[in-house]
Chain A
Amino acid sequence: MTDPVYLDNAATTPLDPRVLESMLPHLGGRRGNPSSLHAFGGAAREGLEEARDRVASLIGASPEEILFTSGGTESDVLAILGLARSAGPQKRHAVVSCVEHAAVRETAERLHSEGFEVCWIGVDADGLVDPAEFADALRPDTALAAVVWANNEVGTVEPVPELAEICAEKGILFHADAVQAAGRVPIDVSEAHISTLALSGHKLYGPQGIGALYVRNGVSLEPIIYGGGQEKGLRSGTQNVAGIAGLGTAARLAREEMEDRTTHERALRDRIMAGTAEIPDVFVNGHRERRLSNNVHLTVKGIEAESLVLFLDSLGYAIGSGSACSSGRHKASPVLVAMGLSEREAFSVVRITVGKENTSEEVEGFLGAFSTAVAQLREISPLYAG
């Protein structure tokens, strides 16, 4: 059997060999703690600051506005809790979209249970937030608002700069989860009035277990981890130097190669959309144009996603069932429900996400396997009358 084909790049990307190369010096040999004053510490510190520069460049920030975390989830949680807890007793209201990643959604629910009032902003059938509705929800006592830059399930790209502008005019802090968007959508925080922004390494061909949070100069944040005072006291604990170096390289490559990558991805994505559209009762979810360059999200009527994913896995193709984070919980994805899908439809969705390594041969092979799997599973489905 040939090597399996990986089409689940929104779950995690392969590690770029150039990224791995840049990490190795920090994993072996003369390792130091970046907080140490001696030469060993200095070398580590140098790696850290070089990476900080590179991450800052990817999103148009200054290096001192970047702090490193253990990943996208920690960045989101630190931003939401940190902003809310430093907002003061008069500001106990938050505005959050219904299409957030679980890291933001569940943290907002946590705020609610701590006495915060949370206003959930709905979306249209394409998963898009309406700026007018968003603006209406903002109040004088609103501490923060949060809208994902690009949704991790259906890939819809939200009008984040516009929403951030509305908040800036009213003096309200705005958090953007850019874990899926970074490297695919141009992000420039010197233009957009964003207060905090979350990034993750392993969605950018970087290592897993590393992330970054952009915190605009002047925005104050309550930390959630206490200790040695690293990362300006906002994220205590000795830094993951090798991971950070990897993230730095990944950010640099993402900036340099963004156009090539997205052009390549878009071609593969559009071929998959066109190929799957030939199968009856297969529908694309999410916005057709305002969509991540690598994302195809499909409802496949009459089949439960998990069986399709495993079937394709046995044929050598790895795809995602809805959002990888909600599979295994057997609860309809809140994002899909917010977009108006029924419970049953929400169990019949798969996510195919291409990456820079995929080829058009792989995509053609996938389309053949997909149509075989769908036909056979529908054959045994009592809910599909072809």
Chain B
Amino acid sequence: MSDSYRPQVVDHLVRPRNAGEIGDPSGRGESGDAACGDVACFTVGISENVLEQVRYKVYGCAACIAAGSALAELVDGRDLLDAARVSKADLEDALGGPMPVGKEHALTLVLDALHKAFEDHWNRKADEMFLEAQGGPRTGGKSVVAAMSGGVDSAVTALLLKEAGYDVATVTFRLHDGERGSRSCCSPDTVLFARETAHRMGLPHFTLNLKELFDRRVMQDFVGSYSEGRTPNPCVACNAHVKFHASSFLADELGFHHVATGHYARVEEGPTLARPVDESKDQTYVLWPVPRDLLSRTIFPLGDYRKTEVRAIAEERGLAVAYTPESQDICFIPDGDYRTFLRKRAATEPGDVVDREGRVLGRHAGVVDFTVGQRRGIGVSAPTPLYVSEVRPRKGQVVVGRKQDLEVREVRVRDLNWFLDTEEASCVQVRYNGSPVSCTVEEESEGAWVAHLDEPVIGVAPGQSAVFYTGDGERVVGGGVVGGS
């Protein structure tokens, strides 16, 4: 019968297993709230990746109490990886079959609370360690931590690795509060969705809370750069400080060798980055800041596939993610309106729009609205189209000029991360969808490089990335941040 409880549920209700709370837990997780009707709380004692103790408390309907009890019984004493693999389907089996109609949420709720306890465990261990590159490269073994966003690319990444014989553990990062489907009672839909996808593939899933790190290293940098007249790339900042470090941390904790993401790129000897098979999806331009020792343990399975093939694989294997939409440009600004996002966070004052000779042509509402190379929204009429050629935040000035005024033949680059011998650098790409331009590089002073371009390019914005490629344009020699000209 679908609308009444099975005897197993009543048995767990009346004789709950592992009920209570651990006094000094290594992790604690809570899910649900009064509006949701139910609250589940798990405390765990984890030692050397074994779940030595687990206790739960639930306020809620019989389904929630029984699900909490059954889950605690299923994971008690298990290896952490096996505990993180326990799915809603496993829980249903333990409870004698599906929950009555309208009670399915109980399974999601208790699993979420347990996973939040695991997350708390990792976060207590991690502390500030995400900031440093983790451990040394471990190659040769077939175990990998695969980052999962909930989208099709990362799901297929995990699947391909599993099919290639790897031990795979999946991880989803909490980066910011703007996730789709964020509700007060459970984790955002994206996290729940990623967990279900992992569990359906039989893979363990973890979450790591990186909100603080992401805020400091990515979002604050994003706002700060605009205020200083630079054009930041948040994906670059994330790859430089967040995603690969956190994956690597978890791999070290689990004793795993590799880390993997769903980026379209390849890792070659060196290590260095190489262009993927699907050049239209090439992400090498945003991956240049991944530290060498992290890149050496990284696998990008999708580098050998076309996007259409990736979707086909997802569809063929019955992954629900096959039909998820492409992710947005900037994950923490889901509506894409980054001007509004900036204005809420950056103090900005009106100032003058000037030409290259310093003549005032008009007024603007704040420098954060402008990026080098921008043509729209300048608010000054002129016989030929005007472009932003420079942003001077200290003077509050936006400098405009004609298109040819934006041409540069030299690009200054700092904060370099070299993979190969600098002499191999023979062309440079200065925009995400730009083409590489032939160049020669020269170190002007310690750590400060200049690229002499064979032909002029326009719209080189300070703060963007300059990525150097080998002569055939296939491999990344190194990359850095475009400085002031």
Q: Which residues of the other chain, A, contact B64 by a CB distance below 8 angstroms?
A: 304, 307
SS class of chain A's interface: helix, strand, loop or mixed?
loop
Interface string of A272-314 (1 = CB under 8 A from B): 0000000000000000000000000000001110110011011
A343 close to chain B: CB less than 8 A: yes
> Cβ of B62 and Cβ of A307 under 8 Å apart?
yes
Bound complex: CA of A344 vs CA of B59, how far in Å? 10
Q: Which residues of the other chain, A, contact B57 by a CB distance below 8 angstroms?
A: 380-382
SS class of chain B's interface: helix, strand, loop or mixed?
mixed
Stretch at the interface among B33-41, B229-237, B275-283: B33-41
> Cβ of A310 and Cβ of B5 under 8 Å apart?
yes
> Cβ of A381 and Cβ of B37 under 8 Å apart?
no
Q: Which residues of the other chain, B, contact A303 by a CB distance below 8 angstroms?
A: 59
Chain B, 55-90, CB within 8 A of any chain A CB: 56-62, 64-65, 68
Count residues on chain B whose CB falls below 8 Å from chain A CBs. 28
A68 close to chain B: CB less than 8 A: no
Chain A, 331-386, CB within 8 A of any chain B CB: 342-344, 347, 376-377, 379-384
Bound complex: CA of A313 vs CA of B7, how far in Å? 12
B13 close to chain A: CB less than 8 A: yes
Partner of A344, one of B20, B30, B34, B56: B34
Bound complex: CA of A314 vs CA of B34, how far in Å? 26
A232 close to chain B: CB less than 8 A: no
Q: A380-B16, A380-B19, A382-B41 are in contact. Are A306 and B62 (CB under 8 A)?
A: yes
Q: Which residues of the other chain, B, contact A302 by a CB distance below 8 angstroms?
A: 59
> Cβ of A306 and Cβ of B39 under 8 Å apart?
no
> Cβ of B13 and Cβ of A304 under 8 Å apart?
no
Bound complex: CA of A236 vs CA of B321, how far in Å? 56
B319 close to chain A: CB less than 8 A: no
Bound complex: CA of A381 vs CA of B64, how far in Å? 11
Closest chain A residue, CB of each to CB of B9:
A310
Count residues on chain A whose CB falls below 8 Å from chain B CBs. 24
> Cβ of A310 and Cβ of B37 under 8 Å apart?
no
A227 close to chain B: CB less than 8 A: no
> Cβ of A381 and Cβ of B34 under 8 Å apart?
no
Q: Which residues of the other chain, A, contact B14 by a CB distance below 8 angstroms?
A: 311, 314-315, 376
Q: A306-B62, A380-B57, A380-B58 are in contact. Are A347 and B13 (CB under 8 A)?
A: no
Q: A347-B37, A379-B19, A380-B16 are in contact. Are A307 and B102 (CB under 8 A)?
A: no
A89 to chain B, nearest CB (A): 42
B10 close to chain A: CB less than 8 A: yes
Q: Which residues of the other chain, B, contact A304 by a CB distance below 8 angstroms?
A: 37-38, 59-61, 64
B23 to chain A, nearest CB (A): 14
> Cβ of B30 and Cβ of A307 under 8 Å apart?
no
Interface-centre pick from B14, B30, B57 (highest chain A CB count, 10 A):
B14
> Cβ of A307 and Cβ of B13 under 8 Å apart?
yes
Q: Which residues of the other chain, A, contact B16 by a CB distance below 8 angstroms?
A: 376, 380
Bound complex: CA of A330 vs CA of B62, how far in Å? 13
Bound complex: CA of A303 vs CA of B10, how far in Å? 16
Q: Which residues of the other chain, B, contact A377 by a CB distance below 8 angstroms?
A: 65
Bound complex: CA of A314 vs CA of B19, how far in Å? 19
> Cβ of B39 and Cβ of A383 under 8 Å apart?
yes
Q: Which residues of the other chain, B, contact A310 by a CB distance below 8 angstroms?
A: 5, 10, 13, 62
Q: Which residues of the other chain, A, contact B5 by a CB distance below 8 angstroms?
A: 310
> Cβ of B102 and Cβ of A381 under 8 Å apart?
no
Closest chain A residue, CB of each to CB of B56:
A380
B70 to chain A, nearest CB (A): 13
> Cβ of A381 and Cβ of B59 under 8 Å apart?
yes
Closest chain B residue, CB of each to CB of A313:
B10
Chain A, 157-183, CB within 8 A of any chain B CB: none
Interface-centre pick from A343, A376, A377 (highest chain B CB count, 10 A):
A377
B102 to chain A, nearest CB (A): 7
Bound complex: CA of A381 vs CA of B102, how far in Å? 22
Q: Which residues of the other chain, B, contact A307 by a CB distance below 8 angstroms?
A: 13, 60-62, 64-65
A218 close to chain B: CB less than 8 A: no
Binding site for A on B (CB under 8 A): 3, 5, 10, 13-14, 16, 19-21, 30, 34-35, 37-41, 56-62, 64-65, 68, 102
- Selected A-B contacts with CB under 8 Å, 24 pairs: A304-B61, A307-B60, A307-B64, A310-B10, A311-B13, A311-B14, A311-B62, A314-B14, A343-B34, A343-B35, A344-B34, A377-B65, A379-B19, A379-B20, A380-B16, A380-B19, A380-B20, A380-B56, A380-B58, A382-B21, A382-B40, A382-B57, A383-B59, A384-B59
Q: Which 4 A-B pairs have the closest CB atoms?
A: A382-B57, A344-B34, A382-B41, A380-B19
Q: A304-B59, A377-B65 are in contact. List 12 more A-B contacts (CB 8 A).
A: A304-B38, A310-B62, A311-B62, A315-B14, A328-B3, A343-B34, A344-B34, A347-B37, A379-B20, A380-B56, A380-B68, A381-B58
